[in-house]
Amino acid sequence: MPSFDIVSEIDMSELKNAIDNANRELDTRFDFRGVKASFEFTNDVAKLSAEHDSQLRQLVDMLRTNLIKRGVDSRAMDMETPSHSGKTWTQVIKFKEGVDQPTAKKLVKLIKDNKMKVQVAVQGEQLRVTGKKRDDLQAVMSLVKATDLEQGFQFNNFRD
C-alpha cells in the first residue's frame, strides 16, 4: 500500500549558515555601525541582542530573511518574549522540530474531516499516512500544504 510520512525537520547546517549570513549582514549595515548587536547560535537556540527594541525587531527580520534565502521554513521559529537588562535587549529564538501531539491531532482531524480515503497513524514525532491510491496521498499532501498550522511540514518516505 502506498504511504508517506509527515515530518517537521530543520537542516541545522542551513540554519547555522543563515545565522552566519545574518551576522555578516549586520557587520555591513549602516544603521548598526557603532551599535552592540549580535546573533549567537548555541545548542540549537539563537540568541539575538541589541541596544534597543526596534533594533531587536530589525534583527529578527534579518534572521527571517536569511532563513528564507537558505531554504529553512521561518515558521519553525519559536520566539520568546524579549527581555531587557541594563541597556541591552535580548531575545531567545528556539526552533521547532518534530510534530508535537496537539499539532498531530489537528492534522489527523483535518484529514478525517475532509473524508479522505487514507489512514493516519501518529508515530512519535511524525505521522504515517497510508492509502490505496497514490492520488489520495497526493491530495493529502496538498491539503496539509494549504493549511496554516504555524509549522512547516515535509513529506518523507513516499512508497508506492
Backbone angles phi and psi of 91, in degrees to 5: -140, 130
Give the Cα separation of 147 and 122 in Å (integer).
Answer: 18
Residues 22-46: pLDDT tens digits?
999 999 989 888 889 999 998 889 9
Q: Is 25 in contact with 61 (CB distance < 8 Å)?
A: no
The Cβ of residue 50 has, within 10 Å, a number of other Cβ atoms equal to 25
Residues 61-112: pLDDT tens digits?
999 999 999 988 888 888 999 999 988 999 999 998 888 888 889 888 988 8
pTM equals 0.82
